[in-house]
Structure 1
Amino acid sequence: MSDRVALETEPAENATVAGLLARVGQRVRQAREQRNISRRVLSESSGVSPRYLAQLESGAGNISIGLLCKVADALDLRIEWLVGEEDPWTSEALHMAEMYRQAEGPVQAQVRELLLEAAPGGRRAQRICLVGLRGAGKSTLGRLAGAALDVPFVELNREIAEVGGMPVGEIMALYGQEGYRKLEADALDRVIATHDQVILAVGGGIVAEPGTYNRLLAHFNTIWLKAAPEEHMARVRAQGDERPMAGQPEAMAQLKSILQAREALYERAHALLDTSGATLEETLERLLALIAQEHFLG
């Protein structure tokens, strides 16, 4: 019985080996021709004899792995390109992998950053950040969502005050916008380092700082809380903050201008929640549904 099984499986195994050898030979020949390399030059570069190369390209060469590695190195290819079932010249994934391998270090770093940012369960997983203008409801909704989901809620301005050792208003008065932005970046790094799971509310202007905003996008699932300018203004005033209107007859026009200028930046967020015309309870319900739908907490 065992002899018969062996006889039946031998043809299949032989066909598999023959197919592999033919595939490797075809790809070696194709790569050599694309690079305009003669078989003699390839032989000198790889240390594999011309006779062996001829057998390899014809599909008749039972070449060792060691020699095949030398051929792949001489052709500047990964050995997987020669033996894999996918055709490297038609597979977009393999083509992109080869482009990455040959790219300069800074380009590879940018690619890794983008892939890590988009990867499910990547470094953004378990962290949520609410962005938007003042009056969007970031602090109120963030606190309520954190309580509902049993996730820590953090306001970045509080972290900035702690890092700076004084209230944000005093930081602005003493160090100006530049000093504040530096502390803002430091505070963000601290949140990233200390919270694997968090809901964060940030100041509306953080999106105008490219380095800080890119870091935010890379490490947090960001949600833009969008509202009409009139609602932004009304909510801020309802909180007892008259600064937006004090001595500012053109405050609404300025608010609209700021919103327009930052809109493209806010649109880089991973999700959008329009809070216009909705009650706090309705908005919270929609926010929790959005977080669940997008799997922002895993």
Structure 2
Amino acid sequence: MNPSCNLFIIGPTGAGKTSIGRRLAAHYGLPFVDLDQEIERHCGVDVSTVFEIEGEAGFRQRESALLDEQSQRPGVLLATGAGAVLAEHNRRHLTERGYVVWLQTSIEQQLERLERDTRRPLLAGVDRHEKLQAMALVRGPIYRDLADLTVPGEHGSVAAASERCIALIDHHWQRTPTAWPQQTA
């Protein structure tokens, strides 16, 4: 168990991190931060444009900087981007600063949920099934290692998935007060 005042949501593209994260934040009375949306707000353009101009490396630098900044806030629910877990320093920030919830989903569910989505630069112009499978092979073990709690993916509504998450989180999360402990140098 990882006691914390913060909840961090990780998982693959299309797992429902944003949709479920918003509901969880409302339920727990926490401000909600979607890391991709925060990048867009800071840059003034969408993620696809950041990828186009700066490439994946530039995007990942921005993502890491904002993950560091936002994960330091006490009492926040942060939904990461699917690939934020790739950087070791991001993984350290997540595990040290919050209770990490992994939303699982199958590749078939991802394909169904992302069928009409054209905003994901890593899925543009590629065989989506093959790309999602390759990402799952790399990221799945990382998600597993980071997670304080794993929520199995199931078909159904966002409301039903959110209620499942709340039941599991309530059973496992040891929520601490939002006063952030003093860090010593």
Query: Into which bin does the TM-score normalised by the smaller protein fall?
Result: 0.7 to 0.9
**Radius of gyration: which is bigger?**
1
Q: Give yes or no for the alignment of 1:181 onto 2:30.
A: no
Distance 2:138 2:103 in 1: 16
Flag the structure with higher helix content. Answer: 1
Map of 1:86-97 to 2, 5 A cutoff?
none
The farther-off stretch of 130-139 and 148-157 is: 148-157
1:138 pairs with 17, 40, 46, which one?
17
Q: Give the superposition deviation at 1:152.
A: 1.0
Measured against aligned partners, the alpha-carbon deviations of 1:103-160 in whole angstroms (never above 9, x if no partner) come to xxxxxxxxxxxxxxx764xxxx111111111110000000011112221111011222
Counterpart position of 1:284: 162
Q: Give yes or no for the alignment of 1:150 onto 2:26.
A: no
Q: For the Cα contact (< 8 Å) 2:11–2:82, is it kept in 1?
A: yes
Amino acid at match of 1:207: V
2:71 pairs with 162, 177, 192, which one?
192
Q: Give yes or no for the alignment of 1:169 onto 2:45.
A: no
Distance 2:2 2:156 in 1: 32
Counterpart position of 1:293: 171
Distance 1:233 1:296 in 2: 34
Flag the 1:176–1:264 CA change in 2: closer, same or farther, 3 A.
same
Q: Give the SS at the match of 1:267.
A: helix
Distance 1:273 1:296 in 2: 17
Distance 1:246 1:262 in 2: 19
Flag the 1:158–1:246 CA change in 2: closer, same or farther, 3 A.
closer
Distance 1:263 1:246 in 2: 21
- More contact order relative to length (CA 8 Å, sep ≥ 6): 2
Q: Give yes or no for the alignment of 1:270 onto 2:123.
A: no
Counterpart position of 2:180: none
Amino acid at match of 1:228: S
Q: Give the SS at the match of 2:83.
A: helix
Map of 1:1-298 to 2, 5 A cutoff?
120=3, 125-193=4-72, 195-237=73-115, 240-242=116-118, 247-248=125-126, 250-268=127-145, 269-298=147-176
TM-score (norm 1): 0.53
Distance 1:221 1:296 in 2: 9
After TM superposition, where is structure 1 displaced by more than 3 Å over at least 4 residues in a row? Answer: 162-166, 242-248
Q: Give the superposition deviation at 1:235.
A: 1.1
Flag the 1:234–1:278 CA change in 2: closer, same or farther, 3 A.
same
Q: For the Cα contact (< 8 Å) 1:128–1:296, is it kept in 2?
A: no
RMSD (Å) for aligned C-alpha atoms: 2.1
Distance 2:155 2:48 in 1: 31
Distance 1:285 1:224 in 2: 15
Amino acid at match of 1:241: D
Amino acid at match of 2:30: V
Q: Give the SS at the match of 1:217.
A: helix
